[in-house]
Chain A
Amino acid sequence: MNSFQMAWRSVIRKPVKSILLFFVVLIISLFFLSGMASRNASIATQNKTKQAVGAGFLMEANEENKRDRADEILAKKTAGEEGNFDGVNVEKIKTEYGTSWSVSYDNSFQTLLIGDMEKIAAVSGISEYNLTTAVTAVNPVDFSRIEDDDVDQSSDLLCVSLIGNKDMALDANVLSGNVTIKDGRMITEEDVDVCVISEELAEKNNLSVGNRIQFNDRRDVENSTVFAAEIVGIYTVQQKMTPVMAGDTFRSENIIFTDLGFPEKAEGSTSGALYEKAYFKVADVNQYDEIKKEIQEVDIGWERYDLIDNNGNIDKMSKNFNDLERVSEILVIVVAGASLIILFLVFIFWMKGRVQEIGILLALGTPKIKIFGQILLEAFLIATAAIFLSFMAAPATSKITASYLVQQQVQQADEQSVLEEGKVAKSAEDSEETVTGVSVVVTPELMLYDWFGVTLLVVISVGAAGILIARKNPKDIFSEIS
């Protein structure tokens, strides 16, 4: 009888040991497939979602450069001279203790230069861009702002805050998912003299979409020109926006989004608009790094600016996916390690139960390698059957495993969000989007990997347990039987 005939008879006629190994291999194979499928699913979904969520670059004025430029300007001026020097205001202040000097910058000195921003927006790969003004405090003429009744308002500006956007949909607060439209619409590039107010402000003043509200310069509320803006939308927030300064002027409910040109008019600026941030949206997230290089090569006065990676969305999404991928990888590694130990123990159990058979075969002059081959063949036959069954069951189990891992990740992300509550404000913020599901597919490639991996584990385990045969001489085995 050849080894295959022997192996086949052993597998069929000693069902207990065969079934034991069958189920062990089946479970191992299922875990492997589930782990690998979850890992692959996370990668696939990650790429897809990256595109959907998008990414971009944020541009801000460089603070150090502002100081350097101001110092340079002040160094040129005659001592004791007051006035505006290329956007730097120098003012003499006389007090009872003597004279001191106040230095401030006007909008023209601080603003992002629109020409520079347009050059960057022209870089291929930038699909859209937005400009956002500085938070501008203006006087509410014909409506009341939201105030905290318990706070003394005498030190406050008694204003509301305006944030102008070229395209409100690309405002950091909107991109983060914190600000959403409850009624009406967002402000677009074509809009002039329009605003979007908070639901609290609308409720307090009984305002709705289509109404107009008025503002003027807070420094001269009596005489300055009044500007009206039409309410085109009412927004709601998930978490209150963090005030840029203390006082009810800057509280979340009193923030009013407007078109890009409105804050400058309403505050009565004589030095133009103050564009504080620019956002450039990348068309293809996978080309992020290449586009960044191209942007850096644009001929503008880079010393004035800070270019900030605004891929927080990707980071957050990636973090979720990477965690999922990592957990899946750990699952595969743990299963591999545990499987090796379990299979080794199963085969030790096999060998122990077959000492007599091994002894008989040795006594009949069967070489050890042939006996080892027969046991390996038996293991292979059983493992192949188990792996095939696991292929059939894998789609269902993989889905369950992946869903469980996703659920864990979402739960973890939720806990993290609770810890980070209240941090949403003016900068590029993380998306509220998280992984909510993945599509798991058990591909033929995965099956091949699984078959190869499980078979390798079986061979290693049989080999390790087979050392027991190799180390003994036949007489020892017969003594053991006796």
Chain B
Amino acid sequence: MVLEVKNVNYAYKSQKGKEILKNVSMQFEEKKFYTIVGASGAGKTTFLSLLAGLDMPVKGTILYDGEDIQEKGLNYHRKHHVSLVFQNYNLIDYLTTEENVRLGGAKKPQALLEKVSIPYEDWKRNVLQLSGGQQQRVAIARALASNAKVLLADEPTGNLDENTAGEIVELLKRTAHELGKCVIVVTHSKYLAAQADEVIMIKDGYCHIGERQTTT
């Protein structure tokens, strides 16, 4: 178990203490591909933010390798324990493809770019000149560039067409199963959810571990 959530509660300050997550406890393991599903506003992204150390729970703790992530600080947690992939890629717009991957911590980003199938001629180009699918691959390469054991992704296929989304899902699955990382993905996509080893459903502030779904 690499990541553990213990009795976590979360409430938005702007919503007068209304709890969006209630006493959530959950464990995540390496080499597994998790998806978090739920209705809009259920608290999926909030849950992912807490796992990523982008925010702090009102109550409860989040442990990484058995240690409270707040002990070494959330910055440290974000830098060394987790890596993030977003729906809108979130790449630095004035850097090249290669430089964006290097930003994740890779000294030699070429191998990672090959792994995520970015053609060589695009390595030195400004990252915004790539297609959406390619940009998301670069974002994944950047996430893989760090030695973090956990990869967190928020709607990584949300802006992509079906074929490209399929390729990204495969990439994420391989990241979990072949690279041995714990991959946690927030998604609305039933297809993506169906690819997960475990599906976590958030409803009414509670988390339920669901069955692996099949696509229709």
Chain A residues within CB distance 8 Å of chain B: 1, 9-10, 13-14, 356-357, 359-367, 473-475, 478, 481
Contacts and interface: CB of A to CB of B under 8 A. Distances in A.
B94 A14 contact: yes
Contact of A363 (B78, B94, B95): B78
Given A360-B90, A365-B75, A1 B80 contact: no
B2 interface: no
B94 A10 contact: yes
Given A364-B78, A473-B55, 17 more contacts: A1-B103, A9-B95, A13-B95, A14-B93, A356-B93, A357-B93, A360-B91, A361-B92, A365-B75, A365-B78, A365-B79, A366-B79, A474-B55, A475-B46, A475-B49, A475-B54, A475-B55
A353 to B, nearest CB: 10
Given A9-B94, A14-B94, A481-B88, A363 B75 contact: no
Contacts of B79: 364-366
A356 B90 contact: yes
Contact of A1 (B52, B55, B76, B99): B99
Contact of B94 (A13, A359, A364, A367): A13
Contacts of A481: 88, 90
Secondary structure type dominating chain A contacts: helix
A356 B128 CA distance: 14
A2 to B, nearest CB: 11
B114 to A, nearest CB: 20
Given A357-B92, A474-B54, A363 B84 contact: yes
B181 interface: no
A10 B94 CA distance: 6
A478 B54 contact: yes
Nearest to A11: B94
A356 B92 CA distance: 8
Contacts of B104: 364
Interface string B144-161: 001000000000000000
A19 to B, nearest CB: 14
A4 to B, nearest CB: 14
A9 B99 CA distance: 10
Nearest to A356: B90
A475 B79 CA distance: 16
Contacts of A473: 54-55
Given A10-B94, A356-B90, A363 B52 contact: yes
Nearest to A14: B94
Interface in B73-120: 75-80, 84, 86, 88, 90-95, 99, 102-104
B58 to A, nearest CB: 13
B103 A367 contact: no
A14 B128 CA distance: 13
Nearest to A360: B90
A482 to B, nearest CB: 8
B72 to A, nearest CB: 11
A213 to B, nearest CB: 92
Contacts of A363: 52, 54, 78, 84, 90
A9 B90 CA distance: 17
B103 A364 contact: yes
A360 B92 contact: yes
Instruction: Give 9 closest A-B pairs by Cβ, nearest first.
Output: A365-B79, A365-B78, A13-B94, A475-B55, A474-B54, A475-B54, A475-B49, A360-B90, A363-B84
